């Protein structure tokens, strides 16, 4: 059975996007060799990436660019090579290499994908889908990078979750640039 991991950056005040819906703030940290190595290692873990349309548009506009290859060559290479699934009822086509467009309900599609043989799945950004998959109890691991920012306004990841979900910590790591990586599984 395939596992689904959620990976997102969060601010100290709990937002995953700023008031304009972007995540640029998450990449404004000072250079940190340890963090860069961790990011590269994390990108090499394999699997298939899962996105909603907004996150897909943001990722597809950055990772295939020369700027991305210059800034983070290992991560850019992996992001472009990995299989990607984007959930959208608005998109008619996708252009980022190795991307499959899915127009059906994310909860039912992920439930079916998890039953199939294949690489594990990792959802990045995509707050609406994270919220839906959390409510359906389909996420096997939550990975958060807490960044030392306070935005004041933005979006939270779990806006539509109605019922409490208890989590247990399965790992943590702090970095010189102030980021803290946290891993949780449903209790």
CB-based contact 88:101 (threshold 8 Å): yes
The pLDDT, as a whole number, for residue 159 is 86
Q: Is the pTM of this model over 0.85?
A: yes
The pLDDT, as a whole number, for residue 136 is 95
Which CATH number does 4-186 carry? 3.40.430.10
Longest pairwise C-alpha distance within the chain: 43
How does DSSP assign the chain, residue by residue? Answer: ---EEEEEEEETTS-SEETTS--GGGG-PPP-HHHHHHHHHHHTT--EEEEEHHHHHHHHTTTTSHHHHHH-HHHHHHHHHS-EEEE-SS-S---STTEEEE-S-HHHHHHHHHHSSS--EEEES-HHHHHHHHHTT--SEEEEEEES---SSEE-TTTT--S---EEEEEEEE-TTS-EEEEEEE-
Short-list 130, 118, 119, 2, CA closest to 55: 130
Domain boundaries, the chain: 4-186
Structure token pair of residue 54: 């907004």
**What is the rounded CA–CA span in Å between residue 151 and residue 14?**
9
The pLDDT, as a whole number, for residue 38 is 84
CB-based contact 64:141 (threshold 8 Å): no
Q: Distance from CA of residue 112 to its chain's centroid?
A: 20
**What is the rounded CA–CA span in Å between residue 149 and residue 166?**
26
- What string of pLDDT tens digits covers the 187 residues of the chain? 899 999 999 999 999 998 988 887 787 766 678 887 887 777 667 689 999 999 999 999 999 999 999 988 888 998 999 999 999 999 999 999 999 999 999 999 999 999 999 899 999 989 999 999 999 999 999 999 999 989 999 999 998 899 999 999 999 999 998 999 999 999 9
Expressed in angstroms, the distance from the first to the final Cα of the chain is 19
């Amino acid at each position: 059975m395939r596992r689904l991991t959620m990976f997102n950056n969060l601010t100290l005040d709990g937002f995953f996007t700023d008031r304009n819906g972007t995540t640029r703030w998450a990449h404004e940290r000072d250079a940190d060799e340890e963090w860069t190595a961790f990011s590269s290692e994390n990108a090499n873990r394999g699997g298939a990436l899962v996105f909603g349309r907004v996150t897909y548009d943001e990722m597809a506009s950055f990772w295939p660019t020369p700027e991305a290859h210059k800034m983070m060559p290992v991560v850019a290479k992996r992001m472009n090579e990995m299989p990607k699934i984007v959930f959208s009822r608005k998109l008619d086509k996708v252009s980022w290499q190795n991307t499959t467009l899915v127009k059906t309900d994310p909860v039912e599609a992920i439930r079916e994908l998890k039953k199939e043989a294949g690489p594990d799945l990792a959802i990045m950004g995509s707050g609406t889908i994270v919220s839906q998959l959390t409510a359906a109890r389909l996420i096997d691991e939550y990975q958060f990078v807490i960044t030392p920012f306070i935005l004041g306004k933005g979006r939270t990841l779990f806006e539509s979750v109605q019922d409490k979900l208890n989590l247990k910590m399965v790992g943590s790591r702090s970095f010189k640039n102030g980021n803290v990586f946290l891993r949780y599984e449903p209790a």
